Amino acid sequence: FGDAAARLARDPGFIRAISNRVVSAGSGTGATPAAGAAEGRGAPAATGQPLRLLPSGALGGPILGNMNRIRRATVVVSFSGHGSGFLIDRRGYILTNAHVVGDAERVRVKLFQGKAVIGRVVRRDAARDVALVKIAPPGRAALPLRRLRARVGETVLAVGAPNNQQLEATVSRGIVSGIRRSGGLIYIQADATVHPGSSGGPLVDRSGNVVGLTVAVLTDRRGRAAAGLNLFIPIGDALKRLNLRY
């Protein structure tokens, strides 16, 4: 999870975008990680024919009424370690981070309060740190993806398996703190709490529609997580880089 931390932190433009108080790359400030993010300037989208996803109707109303569906759509993805992911199509397509699946062709996917199955990695883009995994149709509703970009100040919730797989579908709440740009890539900055293991989990709006996915936790010069400085990939960017249509 932490192998690519220094890459993002070595990008001076990213450091300036986050805060003018963040020390320079040489001091050891880090980010956990967007694998290859600082190296991905202008990298092309994933190869392959466009894949059209089956859309899910947008969720409305208070999120409490939709929470069971949201948690059931999240998964734990395991290869050398573990991360998170979520269903974006009822046929069994799962979105996660490229650094979660590594170079694996197949990964273990644990359904929330369900069984573990084998998933096949069908697409990945290391520069944008996104990957698409396919499992057999799980008989569960997918999460709807929001076309409207996240806005600064709006309430968001992050869902994932922080630190331990047993903590699957943990939910944390925060707000969008900013929209950051670095090396041609866009990040949502939010203070919803995430930890190693949360990577690839969904960031949803106050009704449960996906606006992004977890990718990085900023750390200080001693490698400690910086409270409230967490980064998420906009869902539209993830779909574009994997050549997905929604």
Rg over alpha carbons for the chain, rounded to the nearest Å, is 16
Is 195 annotated in the active site?
A: no
Please state, in angstroms and rounded to a whole number, the distance separating the CA atoms of residues 107 and 105: 7
Q: Which position among 11, 89, 99, 195 bears the catalytic label? A: 99
Q: Is 199 a catalytic residue?
A: yes
Lookup: tokens for 242: 């994997």
Q: What is the H or E stretch that residue 85 is in?
A: strand 82-89
The catalytically annotated residue of 129, 182, 195, 205 is 129
Q: How far apart are CA 27 and CA 214, in angstroms?
A: 25
Strand partners, 240: none
129 carries an active-site annotation: yes
Can you spell out the DSSP letters for 198-244? -TT-EEE-TTS-EEEEEEEEEE-TTSPEEEEEEEEEEHHHHHHHTTE
CA–CA gap between residue 83 and residue 46 (Å, rounded): 21
- Which residues are known to be catalytic? 99, 129, 199
